[in-house]
Structure 1
Amino acid sequence: MTEQAVRPANAPADHPTVPPEKVGVLLANLGTPDNYDYWSMRRYLGEFLSDKRVIDYPAWKWQPILQTMVLTKRPFSSGAAYKSIWNHEAGESPLMTITKAQTAKLTSEMQERYGDQVVVDFCMRYGNPSTESVLNRMIEQGCRKVLFFPLYPQYAGATSATANDQFFRALMKAAWQPSVRTVPPYFDDPDYVSVLAGSVTRTLATLDHEPDVIVASYHGLPERYLTEVGDPYHCQCQKTTRLLREALGMDRERVITTFQSKFGPEEWLKPYTVEEVARLAQAGKKRIAVLAPAFSADCIETLEEINEEIRESFEHAGGESFTYIPCLNDDDAHIAVLGKVIANNLAGWLA
């Protein structure tokens, strides 16, 4: 039940009512187009690919290319990819469906811990619901403290940092800013690693064979983001794979790190997943399993790129058995880990 707005203690009788003070937990994910038609895709891709954290070329150089070349053709191919995985029944992308489910379960988790003191909601860095609109709604609900939680286990400038940037830009417009905190990366949290390993073990238990190699495929970044800017993402991905490998009790050759989603002409973090799975098949590794530890929810990069494009590359090179291990999504064990991360970051704000 929603608490009724009341006049503050010791306020005069004509003072307007205000909602009881609460703490907000604002989950943030990458984003999703509203639909897979050309104009919905163009709006979404235009916002995404105009982000300086994602494409850091000077605007005078990049925007003419983006507006006249990329956004003329890419909405068609990206729209077809989205259509192949779209949740037609709900009229939304799988990422939206899963994020809603995560939010609902984390709302229940927070109510069990804190009662009605916490409001949980979600926003998207690109597309809807926007960060600004959800933050404003939280403020109107009485959230005087807000914990902002980018749902990325590893930190990268193009994911966690740009989500934080958008959150801070929204705060700049707030007349009465709440106190805020941001959640740091949690890739090395022992409970998270355990749940990630458990998802691998459960999937492998359903197979009638042992995969020759388990591929941990992470979204990619240009190499210079590591070498010139010092982005910690590459190191955190490598550590995630090592911790996963240790939790599974496997050797270095059985669990490897690759990077996907290369965009543009420059060199990105290697090895590229789409090329590495083909090399594995040609080297006699005919049975592989692939997971995506950089994503908290299945999305276009996992359901279409990994389970369709990368699968096709492996099979075309002679691979025989390709298994995709789903993201942790709204699995109860995953929700428990996220709930613990949230509780740790609320320390001092709530008992």
Structure 2
Amino acid sequence: MTLASDHPPVATRKVGVLLVNLGTPDAPTPGAVKRYLAEFLSDRRVVEIPPIAWQPILRGIILNTRPKKSAHAYSLVWREDGSPLAAITRLQAEALSFGAEVIVDWAMRYGNPAIGDRLAALKSAGCERILIAPLYPQYCAATTATANDAAFAALAKMRWQPAVRTLPPYHDDPAYIGALKASVEASLAALDFEPEAIVASFHGMPQRTLELGDPYHCHCRKTARLLSEALGRELTVTFQSRFGRAKWLEPATDVTLAKLAADGVKKVAIFAPGFSADCLETLEELAIRGRETFLAAGGIDFAYLPCLNSDGAGMEMLRNIIGRELAGWIEGP
């Protein structure tokens, strides 16, 4: 006769949540940046040029010229606990709690920690159901889709897969718009000047992506419209981070900042509603170079308003939208 106590205990079934953001080099050095850019710019979702034409340009020119410049930019914003994007995403994961049955982890699409590695860790920890949560409010194939691609590629190598869900875009979710409103209003109240214009800068994408049917541009515009209505004031919508010679979504953030100053707007506040966490594109491109552009064109007062990051309204929003997607997998409140 075999007693139940003779068998090893069965691992408690868990639910996993994997927060995913874009990525970052491991250090603010040319070598680390080169490795990161090689992975990032080789993604067919990011650069939709046939590899036979693109790879010689990437390997022969870009990876031999851009890493040093980008490493300097990263060094200006690097924190004691690492890259701002990685550090804040880690803090977001640590601050999220849905009960003892849920394990929250985080990963980067490019660089470390890798999506495949963290999915394997969640599976090993007993997670039979996993929510993959790309932290991009506005859907884009070059962000949301490629994060899911990497997760599915990792799952394809597993003999025993967990059940999976993916977090949908939340560009018009009332919880997201409400969190942005609370964050922007709190940041504006802390300023020692009253902005004459408020710029909402979204990450740019090639114009071709819109023409091919990507909803990103429409999602950005809807976010801005809903937030403008919630704030009760007009927002100037722009797109940043142009790269290469192709036509990108307009108006461009740097061009707009210079034009505002030249047109007599002397006091500006800018924020980046499409970024879930502050990173190189917000802290260096907007807060540092954006300021330089605006002041050089004749502006006087400039303020960068932080992203939702890992506290306050932003975390309450993440608990709300992620908790909703876990319905049926965990007990409700």
Task: Tell me, yes or no, if the aligned pair for 1:36 and 1:79 is still in contact at 8 Å.
Answer: yes
Give the aligned partner of residue 110 of structure 1.
Answer: 98
Equivalent of residue 247 in structure 1, options 230, 251, 260 = 230
1:302 aligns with 2:282: yes
Give the conservation status (yes or no) of the 8 Å contact 2:199–2:271: yes
Distance 1:257 1:350 in 2: 39
For the residue of structure 1 that corresponds to 2:98, the secondary structure is helix
- Give the AA of the match of 2:11: P
* Alignment of 1:196 onto 2:180: yes
Residue of structure 1 in register with 2:137 after alignment: 153
How many residues get paired? 329
Alignment of 1:173-322 (within 5 A): 173-227=157-211, 229-250=212-233, 254-322=234-302
Match for residue 79 of structure 1 among 59, 65, 71: 71
Q: Which of 52, 57, 70 does residue 62 from structure 2 map onto? A: 70
Tell me if the contact between 1:150 and 1:160 (Cα under 8 Å) persists in the aligned partners. yes
Aligned Cα RMSD in Å? 1.4
**Alpha-carbon contact 2:175-2:320 (below 8 Å) kept:** no
Could you tell me how far apart the structure 2 residues matched to 1:301 and 1:144 are?
36
Would the aligned equivalents of 1:148 and 1:182 in 2 still touch at CA under 8 Å?
Answer: yes
Residues 239-267 of structure 1: CA deviation (Å, up to 9, x unaligned): 111111111111xxx31110000000010
Q: Any stretches of 5+ residues in structure 1 without a counterpart? A: 1-9
- How far the C-alpha of 1:163 sits from its partner, in A, is 0.4
Give the whole-Å Cα distance in 1 for the aligned partners of 2:22 and 2:175. 24
Alpha-carbon separation, structure 2, partners of 1:334 and 1:175: 37
The 1:18/1:75 distance shift into structure 2, 3 A limit, reads farther
Once residues 310 and 17 of structure 1 are traced to their aligned partners in structure 2, the CA distance between those partners, rounded to angstroms, is: 58
- Contact conserved, 1:241 with 1:255, CA < 8 A, in 2? yes
Contact 2:182–2:313 (CA under 8 A) maintained in structure 1: no
3-state SS, counterpart of residue 149 of structure 1? strand
> Which of residues 291, 295, 314 is equivalent to 1:334?
314
Distance in 1 of aligned mates of 2:28 and 2:188: 33
Letter of the aligned partner of 1:154 in structure 2? Q
Structure 2 stretches of 5 or more lacking a match? none
The alignment's TM-score, normalised by the length of structure 1, stands at 0.91
- Give the Cα separation in 1 of the matches to 2:183 and 2:221: 19
Aligned partner letter, 1:101 = L
Percent identical pairs in the alignment equals 52
The answer for the alignment partner of 1:96 in structure 2 is: 86
Task: Provide the secondary structure at the position in 2 that maps to 1:338.
Answer: helix
- The structure 1 segments of at least 4 consecutive aligned residues displaced by more than 4 Å after TM superposition are 10-14
SS in 2 for 1:110: coil
Which residue does the alignment assign to 2:151? 167
- Which residue matches 2:38? 46
* 32-41 or 43-52: bigger deviation: 32-41
The one-letter amino acid paired with 1:96 is A
Cα deviation, 1:207-238, whole Å, max 9, x if unaligned, reads 232211100000000001001x1100000100
Cα distance, 1:96 vs. partner?
A: 1.4
Measured in 1, the distance between the counterparts of 2:230 and 2:116 equals 39
User: C-alpha distance in 2, partners of 1:130/1:349?
Assistant: 25
Q: What secondary structure does 1:310 align onto?
A: helix
User: Once the two structures are superposed, what CA deviation does each residue of 1:167-209 show, in whole Å capped at 9, x if it has no partner?
Assistant: 1001001121000000101121112111101111111112232
- 1:271-305 per-position Cα deviation (integer Å, ceiling 9, x unaligned): 00000010011011111100001100000000000
Q: CA shift at 1:18, angstroms?
A: 4.6
Are 1:18 and 1:142, in contact at CA under 8 Å, matched by a contact in 2? no
The Cα of 1:147 is off from its aligned counterpart by 0.4
From 8, 26, 31, the equivalent of 2:23 is 31
- Partners in 1 of 2:111 and 2:10 — Cα distance? 31
The one of 94, 101, 109 equivalent to 1:125 is: 109
> Residue 260 of structure 1 contacts residue 273 of structure 1 at CA under 8 Å; is this kept in 2?
yes
Say if 1:17 and 1:69 are closer, same or farther in 2 by CA, change over 3 A: farther
Q: In 1, distance between residues paired with 2:187 and 2:320?
A: 25
Mapped contact 2:193–2:301 kept (Cα < 8 A): no
CA distance in 1, matches of 2:186, 2:260: 23
In the TM superposition, residue 342 of structure 1 has moved relative to its aligned partner by 1.0
Structure 2: how far apart are the matches of 1:125 and 1:80?
22
